[in-house]
Each structure stands twice: as structure tokens, then as C-alpha cells.
């Protein structure tokens, strides 16, 4: 029963995606859509293989920016979350600014970063941080404040110090929600790097895409999109794997809840 | 040091506790005594301030007036002496049962491995053998309460406050757990203060029952439960039991 359901769970989405791809393929092959405007899935596939050596370097640059930004975000979010959780004044002062900061469209800011920090990796990493930092911080703060008051009272009745309560209860309790924020941020990190690159630079998938866009090589644009999707999925699952290793109980618990 | 200890020694005494939250009085002169190895229940309607009493004994709250004396010493407003168990099991989901049970030892500064070794022998007494390396979510409600009680015991072995520990369980599991608690306590040297609003549970488990009034809480009456131990479920239908139940019902 359980087994057949899990097969069902994977067959339905895969099958549906295949059907969509087939419709796409057929409508291009049958001439309903011009191949110049929209390359077919097989065109994209063969282009991808063709350009792989070209975009390899670009991919590495984008990944470096994404990872640098991602880890900087984690560090920053950890420090701020701990500060905001332990000193209420800091939380009250910073929280509204953080929320407002998220309403500014990044696309508008990115060119400014290029002006301020030049065409190197720095402005891209900043964009990644701006994208990733917020979901991580919010998930951490939520996790830290979600701890059962009685649990904290129980430890207080044992005469536990604030540090002990943090280390034994609050921080580990925040880990589940921290990882869900991390998963979102991980997928955003690649996108953030691409947005940063879009505004100009020397190398990276975003740069590559702007170049091929100007030469109307849409098959290459789609091939690059495919690479981005694959990379994003990979980091998403890498975080999930990390969660499984770090907290085997949390995945089990999710399963039990279903 | 304990040479003068006898069975009538008073472990815990509350002297005229008064407490108000803002302007609402919650406790109005609560006095009670818990003697060595005694099982005392505090029985009262929901919201009568029973948990406030426990919060004061454990030191989490300070009374407006009155004193908490433990073994004759003033412990008012001091945490870290008695152990406290809530209705919720409050087991940490990321710790295995054995590490949950050793939490109080870790708080006291013991190393993880040593804490595990200290706790391990008690798994048999508490009927938790074989569950040491399970996670809490893998346990049934009854088993989780056992683990919570073991953790409570590991903090303070002599005075334990149990706040409706079986309140969240279904009636059948609850009856089993009451029996289990009596069996376990026979093997321990613990004095228990127990909160409940279940009359049968109070009579079945206790040596004495303090009946509280509605809020603001005061002790309405102290009832001595003179039923022979060890007790089995059959006493629930005995004459004495029913008489006691009738007496308490008439008071509430």
C-alpha cells in the first residue's frame, strides 16, 4: 500500500512533465511555433552538449558567487538571529528595517552595486546575500521563538543557565525551521548570482545568457536555463541531504506526521 | 548526615502561601506538609491555581507572602532543588530517550557519556528497557510519560512535583500508568506531590489528599487515605474507597 503510493507519487509528476515536453516538441516539429522563436526540447538538449565546454567556466564562476553569498548569509543570519533573540531591543530596532529592505526590488539595486563595487564577483555576492539572508534569518528567528515556554521553565526549574537553555533547547529546536529556510535560500542563491551577473561582469552564466540573448541564440539561452535549474535542484537536495545527516530524527518525524 | 532521618521527617512544607496576579488573588494561604516517602495529592477544580503552587515550590515564581521550606530550610524563590514534571512530556525530539533522561545531569554539568551510564540502570525500574536509543516520536504517549518521569527522577530523587502527568492520556492508558507509577514508587525513595482533578486518581495513588477551593485557592480539607498498600485496581470498588469518594465529592 505504502509502496504503491510512493510509486504513484513519482510517476504522476514525471509522467505529466513528459507529456508537456512531448507537446512542446511536437508543436515545434510540426511548425506551429517557429524554431527560431522557441527551440524544441531536443534542440536544447543537443545545444547543451555542444556548449558544455564553453559554459563550464561560466558555471564555475556562478557557483562560486552563489556559494560565497550563501555561506556569508548563513553566518550573518546566525549572528543576527542570536543577537536579536537574546536582546529584545535589537530585535525591535532591526526587524522593521529588515522587512522594508525586502520590499526593494533587487533588479533596481543590482546596477548600483556594479557602479559601487565594479565588475568583479563582489556585487554578485552582495545580491546573493540580499536574496538568501532574509529567509534564513526569519526561519532562525521563528525557530528560536517557537520553543515551548514550559520547556524553558522546566530547564529553569533545574537551575539551567541562559547559555545552557540556548544550547540544549533553543538552538537545536530552531534547527528544523533553520533548514527549511536554508533550502529556500539555497535555490535562491543560484538565481541571485544570475541576477547580479545580468547587470554586467566578466564571466558567469548570467553574462553568458546576456551575450547569447543579443545574438538571438535562444537555444543556448534555454540550454543555460536548463543548467541553472539543474544547479538549483542540486543545491536544494544537497541541503536536504545535509539535514538528513545532521538531524536524522527530523526527517523521520516529518514522515511520521504524514 | 542522614542518621537522624526517620519516616515522619517533613521533606517539604508550605507555610501560608499567598499569591496574586495583578489584582486577582490566586492563592490565599496555602499550607501543606509532605513527609518522607509520602504521596500527597492536591485535588481541585481546573484553574484553581494548582500549577501556581508548583511554580512557587520549584522556585519559578515568588509568593507574595509565605514560605517554602525544604527539609526545614527556607527555599522560597530558589530553583534547582525539587524536580518538576508537566502534563506535557516535554521530551526533546532530537534527543534519544536516554539522552532526554540524562538532561538534568547534563544541566548539572556531567559529561554525556557519564550521564548515560548513570541513567541506564533506571531504565529497567521504569519499564523503559529497550527504548534507550529510540527517539521520543517513536514512543507511545504512555511510554513518553514514563521517560518524562525518569527524567524528573534523575533531577531530584527525593522530592518530585507531578502536575497532572497522566492528564493527556486516554482512560485505559491512564489506569495502566497509575498502576505502573505505584509499582515504580515502591522501588524508589521519593516523596511525591501530585496535582490532579481526577478524584479516583487522587484516592487511588495518595496517602493524603488536600482539597482546594475554587480560585482563590485555599485548602478546604485534608483527607487521609487509609487504604492498605500495595493497592490493586480492585480497591476502586471497595466500600472504603467509595466512602472516600463520596466524602470528597460532597466537598467539591
- Domain harbouring A219, CATH code: 1.10.3720.10
Structural domains in chain B plus CATH codes: 2-82+158-251 (3.40.50.300), 91-155 (no CATH)
Beta bridge partner(s), residue B63: none
With bands split at pLDDT 50, 70 and 90, how would you rate the model's confidence at A181?
Answer: very high
Evaluate if residue B5 carries a pLDDT over 60: no
Q: Which residues 6+ apart lie within 8 Å of B110 measured at CB?
A: B102, B118
Same domain, A225 and A101: yes
For B:157-196, CB contacts with A below 8 A are: none
The reply to whether residue B103 touches residue A256, judged by beta carbons under 8 angstroms, is no
- Per residue in A119-151, pLDDT tens? 888 999 999 999 999 999 999 999 998 888 999
Structural domain harbouring A7: 1-33
pLDDT for res B46:
80
Average pLDDT estimate for A187-207: 89
Of B82, B90, B94, which is closest to A151 when you measure between CB atoms? B90
ipTM for the predicted complex comes to: 0.87
Alpha helix positions (H), B58-119: 97-101, 103-107, 112-119
With bands split at pLDDT 50, 70 and 90, how would you rate the model's confidence at B245?
Answer: very high
Same domain, A52 and A22: no
Interface test with A, best of B100, B137, B167 (most A CBs within 10 A): B137
Same domain, A1 and A82: no
Same domain, A187 and A227: yes
Searching chain A, which residue's CA lies closest to the CA of residue B51? A150
* CA-based end-to-end distance of chain B: 43
The reply to whether residue A249 touches residue B107, judged by beta carbons under 8 angstroms, is no
Evaluate if residue A107 carries a pLDDT over 90: no
The reply to whether residue A249 touches residue B94, judged by beta carbons under 8 angstroms, is yes
For residue B248, whether the previous peptide bond is cis, meaning omega lies within 30 degrees of 0, is no
Same domain, A154 and A241: yes
Quick one: chain A helix, strand, coil %, rounded to 5?
Answer: 85, 0, 15
Same domain, A45 and A137: yes
Contact A196, A124 (CB under 8 A): yes
Same domain, A98 and A20: no
- Per residue in A216-228, pLDDT tens? 888 888 999 999 9
Same domain, A27 and A94: no
Kindly list the residues from chain B whose CB atom is less than 8 angstroms away from the CB atom of residue A169: 92
Contact A138, A206 (CB under 8 A): no
- Per residue in B97-123, pLDDT tens? 999 999 999 999 999 999 999 999 999
- Per residue in B179-193, pLDDT tens? 999 999 988 989 999
- Structural domains of chain A, count: 2
The alpha carbon of A179 is separated from its chain's Cα centroid by a whole number of angstroms, namely: 12
Q: What is the arrangement of strands in the sheet containing B83-85, beginning at the earlier edge strand?
A: B83-85, B159-163, B191-196, B39-43, B208-212, B219-224
Kindly list the residues from chain A whose CB atom is less than 8 angstroms away from the CB atom of residue B108: 158
Report the distance separating Cα B12 and Cα B54, nearest Å. Answer: 12
B224 has a chain A CB within 8 A of its CB: no
Evaluate if residue A3 carries a pLDDT over 80: no
The reply to whether residue B93 touches residue A253, judged by beta carbons under 8 angstroms, is yes
Same domain, A22 and A108: no
| Range with the poorest average pLDDT among A32-36, A92-96, B145-149 | A32-36
Searching chain A, which residue's CA lies closest to the CA of residue B61? A157
Report the distance separating Cα A133 and Cα A127, nearest Å. Answer: 10
User: Based on the number of CB atoms within 10 Å of its own CB, is A202 exposed (0-12), middle (13-18) or buried (19 or more)?
Assistant: exposed
Same domain, A98 and A195: yes
Searching chain A, which residue's CA lies closest to the CA of residue B108? A160
Same domain, A52 and A163: yes
Of A157, A160, A256, which is closest to B59 when you measure between CB atoms? A157
Same domain, A44 and A159: yes
Q: What is the arrangement of strands in the sheet containing B24-35, beginning at the earlier edge strand?
A: B24-35, B10-21, B65-70, B73-74
Searching chain A, which residue's CA lies closest to the CA of residue B88? A150
Amino acid at each position: 500500500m505504502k509502496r504503491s503510493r510512493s510509486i504513484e507519487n513519482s510517476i504522476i509528476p514525471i509522467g505529466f512533465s513528459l507529456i508537456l515536453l512531448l507537446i512542446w516538441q511536437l508543436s515545434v516539429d510540426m511548425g506551429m511555433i517557429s524554431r527560431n522563436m522557441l527551440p524544441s526540447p531536443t534542440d536544447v538538449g543537443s545545444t547543451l552538449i555542444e556548449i558544455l565546454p564553453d559554459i563550464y567556466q561560466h558555471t564555475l564562476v556562478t557557483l562560486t558567487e552563489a556559494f560565497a553569498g550563501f555561506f556569508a548569509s548563513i553566518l550573518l543570519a546566525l549572528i543576527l538571529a542570536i543577537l536579536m533573540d537574546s536582546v529584545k531591543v535589537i530585535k525591535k530596532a532591526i526587524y522593521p528595517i529588515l522587512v522594508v529592505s525586502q520590499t526593494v526590488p533587487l533588479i533596481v539595486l543590482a546596477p548600483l552595486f556594479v557602479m559601487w563595487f565594479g565588475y568583479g564577483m563582489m556585487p554578485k555576492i552582495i545580491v546573493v546575500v540580499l536574496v538568501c539572508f532574509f529567509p534564513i534569518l526569519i526561519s532562525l528567528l521563528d525557530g528560536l521563538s517557537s520553543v515551548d515556554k514550559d520547556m524553558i521553565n522546566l530547564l529553569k526549574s533545574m537551575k539551567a543557565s541562559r547559555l545552557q537553555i540556548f544550547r540544549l533547547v533553543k538552538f537545536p529546536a530552531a534547527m528544523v525551521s533553520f533548514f527549511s529556510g536554508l533550502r529556500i535560500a539555497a535555490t535562491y542563491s543560484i538565481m541571485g548570482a544570475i541576477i547580479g551577473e545580468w547587470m554586467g561582469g566578466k564571466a558567469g552564466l548570467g553574462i553568458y545568457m546576456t551575450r547569447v540573448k543579443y545574438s538571438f541564440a535562444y537555444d543556448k539561452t534555454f540550454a543555460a536555463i536548463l543548467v541553472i535549474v539543474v544547479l538549483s535542484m542540486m543545491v536544494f537536495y544537497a541541503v536536504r541531504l545535509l539535514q538528513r545527516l545532521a538531524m536524522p530524527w527530523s526527517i523521520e518525524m516529518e514522515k511520521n506526521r504524514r | 548526615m542522614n542518621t537522624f532521618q526517620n519516616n515522619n521527617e517533613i521533606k517539604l512544607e508550605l507555610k501560608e502561601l499567598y499569591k496574586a496576579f495583578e489584582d486577582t488573588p490566586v492563592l490565599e494561604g496555602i499550607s501543606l506538609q509532605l513527609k518522607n516517602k509520602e504521596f500527597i495529592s492536591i485535588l481541585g477544580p481546573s484553574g484553581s491555581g494548582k500549577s501556581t503552587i508548583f511554580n512557587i515550590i520549584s522556585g519559578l515564581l515568588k509568593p507574595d507572602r509565605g514560605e517554602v521550606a525544604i527539609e526545614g530550610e527556607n527555599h522560597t524563590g530558589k530553583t534547582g532543588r525539587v524536580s518538576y514534571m508537566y502534563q506535557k512530556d516535554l521530551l526533546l525530539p532530537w534527543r534519544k530517550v536516554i539522552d532526554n533522561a540524562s538532561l538534568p545531569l547534563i544541566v548539572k554539568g556531567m559529561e554525556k557519556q557519564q550521564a548515560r551510564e548513570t541513567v541506564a540502570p533506571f531504565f529497567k525500574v521504569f519499564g523503559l528497557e529497550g527504548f534507550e536509543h529510540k527517539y521520543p516520536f517513536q514512543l507511545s504517549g504512555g511510554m513518553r510519560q514514563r521517560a518524562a518521569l525518569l527524567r524528573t527522577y534523575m533531577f531530584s530523587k527525593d522530592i518530585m512535583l507531578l502536575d497532572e502527568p497522566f492528564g493527556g492520556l486516554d482512560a485505559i492508558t491512564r489506569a495502566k500508568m497509575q498502576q505502573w507509577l505505584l509499582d515504580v514508587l515502591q522501588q524508589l525513595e521519593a516523596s511525591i506531590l501530585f496535582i490532579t482533578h481526577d478524584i479516583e486518581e487522587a484516592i487511588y495513588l495518595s496517602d493524603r489528599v488536600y482539597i482546594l477551593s475554587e480560585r482563590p485557592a485555599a485548602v478546604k480539607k485534608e483527607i487521609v487515605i487509609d487504604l492498605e498498600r500495595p493497592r490493586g485496581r480492585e480497591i476502586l470498588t471497595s466500600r472504603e474507597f467509595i466512602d472516600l469518594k463520596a466524602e470528597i465529592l460532597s466537598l467539591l
